[in-house]
Chains A and B, each alone.
Chain A
């Protein structure tokens, strides 16, 4: 049996506006730019992809299934800037063939810096998903698939989740295959789904690459690769950014046509089916235990977190951000707390990455800055201002204290 498990990550950060040390207002986010990018991606990706997947779910009458993880910061933007996208997600949710996963509301790296804040954001996100789509997430995926044993244990201890996702990196699997369900080390109940990065990246990265020996990739060919898993595995986890469809791979590459024909080709084999992550977890037993003492992610070739905290600026910015958690929460000011949380979105640190700056490629995608240095300066100036706001409230006798006791 080979179950194809599609999960799409759907996220856009709230980009910061140009903020100098001389600025002294609380408008940190570039509404105009965020609106523009949100509309653009909605038109090129979210709308056409949602409509296509809805059509496929209806056509295959419950046999084609998918999963999404939509960040809180994007949900807010879609509600404001592209409500028609929200209605299509709504329609998808109503089919019963779509699962929504949990993550941190702000697409943050909070697990690495503050467990309390992390748990708070995971709850916020699950609440929002339940409110919007009528289902409480049962499977957790961390920002950028950042994962280690500790995360799995922590998630199990939260007692709200049955499963967790992770990159199927070679160094954690050894000779094992990503095409089975596993158990995280030190967990009793939680199951682990590993991304089949080879087949996922064939779609997400290589699809339009004419230098790739397998180009052009057809649904037939891809279904053949999935069929090969039969007998050697239970599940093919295809995890990727949703923006793959129409944004990373433009429509003229034929990506939508590929998706349109894929269910038919996959289902031609009688042993194949589509499952959501929860169904996979319910259907298959854990084959073995996976030990991940060191942090892995799905980023770059290193599969580590150096894209976010790899240089001195990044570590400094993120350290300074979490260092003021106490001050922020003490103010009891809802707006300050929200601004501080929006600054946690991992993209802000990604823009400060100098790894590929010289080559100028990978990290360029919708990056609003000319250089990682500009992004760091901007971030630190805003952080300076938010600290000042805390200070003012503290000195002014904290008028809002106590109001937020439920939140902090």
Chain B
């Protein structure tokens, strides 16, 4: 079985669960002996925003090049020069592209990649939607140089590419839904994105949803027949390189409650803050750390101040690598108050780092995790009640940690990969039958 996979850059170079899922799944497939052509968007050179250090010419793609040898044997990476980033919005894209073009004009772009992994693709489109379409046609051209049996596309930005590749090759398409527009934007959906998602789902031979929670949204909101949608839960990557507590060097008089994720509507930052307010009404020696960035960041800062708990809430911005490990070491509790979370890998990472978790019932991960405290995202009283309980009654945290850490060992990417490969077999045999 050969797979043409339209995926995303691996962690730690992007935020969010999409890259993590692509990494875990592809690595597990590689181990199963499934051949994957992994196609992803990546800027050839860039001097802007947060990627300054990461994409310096000397380490063109440190994540991929170093990973390839060590971890991937059956996987071939193909990079398409594109500024697309998951979870981006049209505005953010606009800002970034203008910055990039300015840099280019100013002569910062003299270095040309010598890597054969890259496919040069002409100028980037000026708006995100056009770029998605341009990406699709480049991917389709690239696909002509590859052999494969099935196309697998992750989240909406890659669906047009998936459709193009499937049309051109005549191979079946599997779309993998890690989040929908309804998760990201509530009822204020972006029609253009919704249409792209819908078209991808309807064109696809099979849809993989990361949870039953997401499967329901797909069936109810996108008019897709239920028999077409399979649920494949995510796994968790156990890296096992836990460091000594002494490295942190922080004296813990205060308890630390952690929010880690994008600070966007979908993630429910305001519920976290309202719960924090209630907790602080009962106990004082607590700090609430919001690690992440996003379009609600400023509103969250203002809200914390407005609630009168500004000094108790710390905003760290987007964390990666060692900083993430460090923040987990400091945390007594992780809270994921997501309004709508298709899966939610972060709580699994928190448990892997021995941090007990509270997760919203409106999340896919609550389908697979039993040793977690669960609340409705809107029930801030109960959220505060449970936060206080974990901070006040140490045996609660101990029990959650012990069983939770054990429980996540059962959630393996290998099982997700096996499920995907079965789906590949189904769609390829069906395609032959037709």
Contact = CB atoms under 8 A, between A and B. Distances in A.
Given A315-B395, A376-B396, A381-B385, A371 B403 contact: no
B395 A313 contact: yes
Interface string B379-396: 001101110110011111
Given A312-B398, A316-B395, A371 B370 contact: yes
Q: Is the interface of B mostly helix, strand, loop or mixed?
A: helix
Contacts, number: 63
A377 B375 CA distance: 13
Contacts of B374: 370-371
A381 B364 CA distance: 29
B370 A357 contact: yes
A311 B385 contact: no
Contacts of A313: 393, 395-396, 399
Interface in B196-231: none
A358 B407 contact: yes
Q: Is the interface of A mostly helix, strand, loop or mixed?
A: helix
Contacts of A20: 381-382, 385
Given A357-B371, A381-B389, 6 more contacts: A371-B370, A373-B396, A374-B373, A376-B393, A377-B389, A380-B396
A22 B275 CA distance: 12
Contacts of B386: 377
B395 A22 contact: no
A312 B389 contact: no
Contacts of B396: 313, 373, 376-377, 380
Contact of B278 (A22, A312, A358, A370): A22
Interface residues of A, number: 21
A399 B386 CA distance: 35
Nearest to A373: B373
A126 interface: no
Given A22-B381, A312-B398, A313-B399, A377 B370 contact: no
A46 to B, nearest CB: 34
Interface string A374-388: 101100110000000
Interface of A: 20-22, 311-313, 315-317, 354, 357-358, 370-374, 376-377, 380-381
B256 to A, nearest CB: 19
Nearest to A379: B393
Nearest to B389: A377
B367 to A, nearest CB: 13
Which 6 residue pairs are nearest across A and B when measured between Cβ atoms?
A312-B395, A20-B385, A316-B395, A377-B389, A313-B395, A21-B388
B381, B393, B396 — most chain A CB neighbours (10 Å) = B393
A34 B366 CA distance: 29
Interface in B388-417: 388-389, 392-396, 398-400, 403, 407
A21 B278 CA distance: 10
A362 to B, nearest CB: 15
A312, A316, A358, A381 — most chain B CB neighbours (10 Å) = A312
Contacts of B403: 354, 357
A380 B393 contact: yes
A364 to B, nearest CB: 13
Interface string B350-382: 000000000000000000001101100000011
B280 to A, nearest CB: 13
Contacts of A317: 395
B432 interface: no
A20 B278 CA distance: 12
Contacts of A377: 373, 385-386, 389, 393, 396
A310 to B, nearest CB: 10
Contact of A316 (B282, B370, B393): B393
B381 A373 contact: no
Nearest to B387: A21
Contacts of B392: 380
9 contacts: A21-B282, A21-B384, A22-B381, A312-B395, A357-B403, A374-B373, A376-B395, A380-B389, A380-B396
